[in-house]
Amino acid sequence: MNDEELLDAFGGVRIDHDNAAYHRGLLERRLLINRCDSCAAWHHPPRSVCPRCWSRSITPTDVAGDGFLALITILRQGPPQPGVDYAAGHALVAVELDEQPGLRIAGTVVGAPAEQLRVGDRVRLLWRDLPGRLPRPDFEVVR
Amino acid sequence: MSATGTRGAARNPARDQVAIVGIGRSPYSRDRAGCTPGSLVLDACIAAARDAGLGATDIDGICGSMVAAQYVQAALGIPAVSWFANPQAVIGNQLVAAVAAVHSGMCDVALVYHHAYRLPWASRSAAQDPMRRRATLGVADARSWYGTGHVDTGPNSMFGANAYAAWAGRYLHDHGYTREALGRVALNSRTNAAANPNAVYREPLTMDAYLAGRMVRDPLSVYDMDIPVDAADAFIVTTTERARDLPRPPVLVHAATLGHTDYGSEEQLRDLDHAGQVVVTRKLWAKSELTLADVDVFFPYEGFSNIALAWFENVGYCGRGEGGAFVAQHWVEAEQRIVIDGRIPVNTHGGSLSEGGTQGAGHLYEACLQLRGEAGPRQVPGAEVALVTPGGYYFNSQGFLLRADR
């Protein structure tokens, strides 16, 4: 997919050379997180250098998508978006990935009432196609 | 990171050398028609200059938040400035820059300002004003404005208010608090606002009413989030030497600092031990010989109620996670407000939760009133030192020790 096609696929999103690989990954149902070739540290959101060792040798790398809920809120109002039900309470979470302490991805959790979610709950990556919604990673609780 | 630095360990050549000599504002309002961000700022700037006894030709520096310095200069007919800047909001950035500019000689008299403007998506009444639909036309959104690399501000993003709610939930979870811990911050602000004619919400708030408040982003309800207002605050900053020749009692900037840590978006913040607030307070105390015992009035920003609890912890009143318990211990039930050690009131003006949300500019304005002895029925007797901590966890943590010139 060339750059023009990527921009078309993510209309209205500020796609740039630093985050293009992340978004290309989403289109292929891959969660690609920047990893340093020199020191193996992960970082997100994507940047052009490694924040630990300043290497410019960075490879967007697949993560397993397993982790735990580090942050949770329930949104009761906000801008309309496909798949978001404010009346029921929309779970917004930050998932801390197993790959590295503090490496977190924001998203939502499906399949469980938002009120039942607790910090520390184990979750895994889930890909959904929702009409009208841009590709993005979702999560589900592992019981 | 330790919460407090070594007393006097940091350089502070500007200590007490720069003063706030004028304050002005456009009164806070939830229903004002016909105003613009520019008109609000201009009203506040004119009031501040007049308060300082100065005119357009005396001002040679301009430093504001979102309204461009060049706009203000032209609109007020300020003939020449040798320094101007528009640092990222909120007010502490503008004040720190102005203090540095005055102390270094970039300018002699700096005009500092910040405004808040109700936008249609944040206020039902604002949505009635068709002009406001274009209030942000041509203005970059907050993501690009910060330049932090956010690509999503929607309901699946930990951006701004969403992230404050999520970290508030984490705070309650980690330390075993219920929402009453947040509620006391909101009640304190409301109680104090009753004595402030500039406050937009002055009717009493009970804990029962707080707990029944409409939930917006769990665990934060409408009472935990700042009130959208049309408002502006402005300050005139000059050398302390010159300040002593001007009509108003100078408010000395004893120590000032900003603080930030190495993360680029809210969900990546490691924990509250690594928030910008920790950097601020460590540096602030290191720049001063004052201690918490010297503070007469405290202004922790509470645009989201949980922010204030973290400030109590970070300035050193208590340890991490103890902010909720500290506020409960220093809660005066008969007065429905916080009075630390029976002596130090908190956010005497009603803060962003009841005076109105100006991202800490209102806190700074009230601190100046208190140190000038002009706070009327809210006056803290003999207030000589104010601790002002605008800003939240991310991107905008700031701290000031201000002193009366006595």
Residue B7 one-letter amino acid: R
Instruction: Answer whether A15 sits within 8 Å of B267, measured CB to CB.
Output: no
Q: Which residue of B has its CA nearest to A15?
A: B151
pLDDT at B7 over 80: no
Q: Name residue B304's beta-bridge partners.
A: B225
Band (pLDDT 50/70/90 cuts) for residue B136 is: confident
- What pLDDT band is residue B233 in, cutting at 50, 70 and 90? very high
| Chain A neighbors of B220, CB-CB under 8 A | 73
CA–CA dist B209, B194 (Å, integer): 17
Contact B396, B93 (CB under 8 A): yes
- Whether B169 sits inside 8 A of A107 (CB atoms) is no
Cβ atoms within 10 Å, residue B286: 18
The structure's pTM equals 0.95
B12-26, B121-135, B392-406: which has the minimum mean pLDDT?
B121-135
Chain B CB contacts of A74 below 8 Å: 215, 217-218
Considering only alpha carbons, which residue of chain B is nearest residue A78? Answer: B155
Average pLDDT, chain B: 94
Cβ within 8 Å, pair B167-A71: yes
Alpha-helix residue ranges (DSSP H) falling in chain A: 3-9, 20-27
Contact flag A119-B157 (C-beta cutoff 8 Å)? no
β-bridge partners, B289: none
Q: Quick one: average pLDDT of B108-131?
A: 90
Asked whether residue B119 carries a pLDDT value surpassing 50, the answer given is yes
pLDDT band at B1 (very low <50, low <70, confident <90, very high): very low
- The burial class, CB within 10 Å (0-12 / 13-18 / 19+), for B96 is buried
β-bridge partners, B339: B345
Q: Which of B71, B63, B126, B125 is nearest to B100 (CA)?
A: B63
Give the number of beta-carbon pairs within 8 Å between A and B.
Answer: 101
Percent of chain B whose pLDDT exceeds 90: 84
pLDDT at residue B2, rounded to an integer? 44
How many other C-beta atoms lie within 10 A of the C-beta of residue B180? 15
CA separation for the pair B148, B140 (Å, rounded): 13
**Distance set, CA B336 to CA B50, B124, B188, B211, B318 (Å):** 37, 30, 6, 15, 21
Query: Which pLDDT does position B5 carry in this prediction?
Result: 57
Q: Which candidate in A16, A71, A74, A128 is best for mutational testing of the B interface (most B CBs within 10 A)?
A: A71
Q: Look at residue A4 and give its three-state secondary structure.
A: helix
State how far the Cα of A119 lies from the Cα of B155, in Å rounded to an integer. Answer: 19
pLDDT tens-place string over residues B247-288: 999 999 999 999 999 987 889 999 999 999 999 999 999 999
CA distance B376 to A113: 50
Q: Which residues on chain B are in Cβ contact (under 8 Å) with A114?
A: 218
Q: Which amino acid is at B383?
A: A
Work out the number of other CB atoms within 10 angstroms of the CB of residue B376: 10
B66 Rama sector, left if φ>0, alpha if ψ -120 to 50, beta otherwise: alpha
Lowest mean pLDDT: which of A81-85, B51-55, B193-197, B302-306? A81-85
Residues of chain A with pLDDT under 70: none
Q: Could you tell me where the DSSP H helices lie in B109-223?
A: 142-146, 161-175, 180-193, 207-211
Residues of B with CB under 8 A from a CB of A: 121, 143-144, 149-152, 154-158, 162-163, 165-170, 173-174, 214-220, 262, 264-265, 267-268, 270
Distance CA B218, CA B377 (A): 36
Coil/strand/helix, residue B372: helix
pLDDT in tens, B44-99: 999 999 999 999 999 999 999 999 999 999 999 999 999 999 998 889 999 999 99
Q: Which residues pair with A93 in a beta bridge?
A: A72, A107
- pLDDT at position A119, please? 98
Residue B143: pLDDT above 70?
A: no
Q: What residues of A are in contact with residue B151 (Cβ under 8 Å)?
A: 13-15, 19, 45
Cβ–Cβ below 8 Å for B169 and A13: no
Tell me: pLDDT of B3 over 50. no
| Top-confidence residue, B393 or A28 | A28
DSSP string, B212-230: TSPEEETTEEGGGBPPP-E
Q: How many CA atoms lie within 13 A of B76 on its CB side?
A: 32
Please tell me which of the candidates B150, B166, B216 has its beta carbon nearest to residue A71: B166
As to burial, measured by CB atoms within 10 angstroms (0-12 exposed, 13-18 middle, 19+ buried), residue B104 is exposed
In order, the DSSP letters of B244-298 are TTSSSPPEEEEEEEEE--S-SSGGG---GGGSHHHHHHHHHHHT-S--GGG-SEE
> Residue B314 CB: number of other CB atoms within 10 A?
31
| Model pLDDT, residue B276 | 95
Q: What is the C-alpha separation between A106 and B158, in angstroms, rounded?
A: 6
Q: Tens digit of pLDDT for each residue in B159-178?
A: 889 999 999 999 999 999 99
